[in-house]
Amino acid sequence: MKEKLKKFKAIVAEAADLYRASEILGWDQETNMPPGGAESRGIIRGTLEKLSHEKYTSDELARLLEELESAIDQFDPDSDDARLIRYIRRDTDKKKKLPSEMVAEKAKLLPPANQAWRQAREESKWSIFEPHLEKIVDYVQRRAEYYKPYDHIYDPFLDEYEPGMKTREVQAIFNGIRPKQVELIEAISKQPQVDDSVLFKNYPKGEQIEMGVDIITMFGYDFNRGRIDEVTHPFAATMGYGDNRLTYRVDENFLNSFLFAVMHESGHAMYEQGLAKELDHTPLYEGASLGVHESQSRLWENLVGRSKPFWEWYYPKFQKRFPTQTKGVSLDDFYKAVNKVEPSMIRVEADEATYNLHIMLRLEIEIGLLEGEFKVKDLPEIWNTRFKEYLGITPKNDTEGVLQDVHWSFGLFGYFSTYALGNLISLQIWEKVNADIPNLEDQIRKGDFTALLSWLQDKVHRHGKKFEPQELVERVTGSKIDGGPYIKYLNKKFGELYGL
């Protein structure tokens, strides 16, 4: 059995390395590649991903997998090996369900759809994107057929990003929190608004970057095992054990674009720096799910980075670095500014109290489309009506409404809800870590994040994708994914901030 396990892991390592190589090429593509290289790069990445897929779905691996499964009681069920075997079974079964024609069809469908979306967005003209989205929805519906039986047509797509999670679970969670978030922002809208003009002063780029490096180094991001680079759309990328990078952008006239985004991406990157070395060269060497990944980025961005204790520590340094920009702005003013709640059209600019509502709207639309209840042509109207209902405002055109996100034009159905799940999970973890480290606030007030990061590494990071998100969250916090702690947090924080 030892020989078989070794052979099994060797094939898996090749498949994982091929996929990882494509990710490294992807990082280069976003950060460094000159425009001329796009076509060739696409072909090379296509080759790597195809060969990775072939390895995962090879008869040899299937045979070894069966043999190992027949002796699975010889393994500790929580060992890396047992979990890898389980993961590969689940993953390859799913991969094999989809015929290669369906993969090829998608590859043909998307480039013109993405191009049409860009044009539609530029001209704020839904009708340009509409026929493409119709084709995509039709494709996704047909694709679902291959994954039958399922409880809900949306399940196989959600499962891509949140393994094992069911649509009904997400709907139940979201239905539980939606009215409470709507109620909260209604209450806030009746209070006097805070002044956030300090965020819109001029902050020179070099100074901002220095500050960001300073902060994330203090958080515990290790530059000997990573680096940061400038891009148009920031992201974090893992290139293998010991090399986990992040990226940023800077707007000299809006502090948040860099400051909170770099904290956010450092959360992703520290998660990946904490993955156990033993998992490298396997598909388990990544975050448990997009939702769990987002819980780490949101924890550092919001629960640390937008907290009072953090700014009690950092605001004096910030004032020293930016004396003219912060003139006459007290710690309390600044804390309020970075926590201003205001319904806005654009998801990526949304604050903590309104963000999830943007997500829920999208989830409802995706489900409505797949179930056939919504027609593509009606989306602008559906969008605007629900937007008004949840956030109290109406987009002035489709560019700042239904056309704002790139995801659907890339065929990404099932992705959006992970952003909101991440918010919820971050609070569940936050409650637990604060119970385990009772003086955590004091530590943050001193700029000491070592105990926090160690705790996260031990409880969350090192496990990688060994456990499915619901199991991991339950192991860490004692309960499954649950919106309760997030609502409690919002009510307390913004109740105080807005004097409710």
Q: Residues 302 to 361: which contact its own copies by CB under 8 A?
A: none
276 binds its own copies (CB under 8 A): no
Nearest CB to its own copies, comparing residues 26 and 164: 26
Nearest CB to its own copies, comparing residues 15 and 345: 15
User: What is the amino acid identity at position 285?
Assistant: Y
Considering the complex, what minimum distance in angstroms separates the CB of residue 14 from its own copies? 5
Cβ-count burial 210-241 (b if 16+ within 10 Å, e if not): ebbbebbeebbbeeeebebeeeeebbbbbbbb
Largest CA distance in the chain: 71
Instruction: Count residues near its own copies (CB under 8 A).
Output: 40
49 binds its own copies (CB under 8 A): no
Choose the stretch contacting its own copies; rule: CB under 8 A; options: 163-171, 241-249, 383-391, 477-485. Answer: 241-249
146 binds its own copies (CB under 8 A): no
Nearest CB to its own copies, comparing residues 34 and 149: 34
**Which of residues 41, 53, 90, 152 is near its own copies by CB under 8 A?**
41
Joined tokens for residue 272 = 């990946």
Cβ-count burial 389-417 (b if 16+ within 10 Å, e if not): ebbeeebeebbebbbbbeebbbbbbbbbb
Choose the stretch contacting its own copies; rule: CB under 8 A; options: 38-46, 369-377, 416-424, 476-484. Answer: 38-46
Q: What is the DSSP letter of 184?
A: H
Q: Residues 71 to 100: which contact its own copies by CB under 8 A?
A: none
Which residues does residue 228 pair with via DSSP β-bridges, in sequence order?
246
Only one residue has tokens 């985004």, namely 261
Q: In angstroms, rounded to a whole number, what is the distance separating the alpha carbons of residues 425 and 287?
A: 14
Q: What is the DSSP letter of 301?
A: I
**Which of residues 96, 175, 223, 478 is near its own copies by CB under 8 A?**
223
Choose the stretch contacting its own copies; rule: CB under 8 A; options: 43-51, 96-104, 160-168, 328-336. Answer: 43-51
Q: Which residues are catalytic?
A: 265
Alpha carbon 258 to its chain's center: 17
Query: Distances from the Cα of 294 to the Cαs of 177, 217, 301, 458, 465, in angstroms?
Result: 18, 20, 10, 18, 14
The residues near 342 (Cβ < 8 Å, ≥ 6 apart) are: 193, 351, 354
Choose the stretch contacting its own copies; rule: CB under 8 A; options: 21-29, 304-312, 435-443, 482-490. Answer: 21-29
51 binds its own copies (CB under 8 A): yes
Nearest CB to its own copies, comparing residues 40 and 253: 40
Q: Summarize as ranges the residues that interact with its own copies (CB under 8 A).
A: 13-14, 17-18, 20-22, 24-25, 27-28, 32-41, 43-44, 47-48, 51, 222-227, 229, 239-243, 280-281
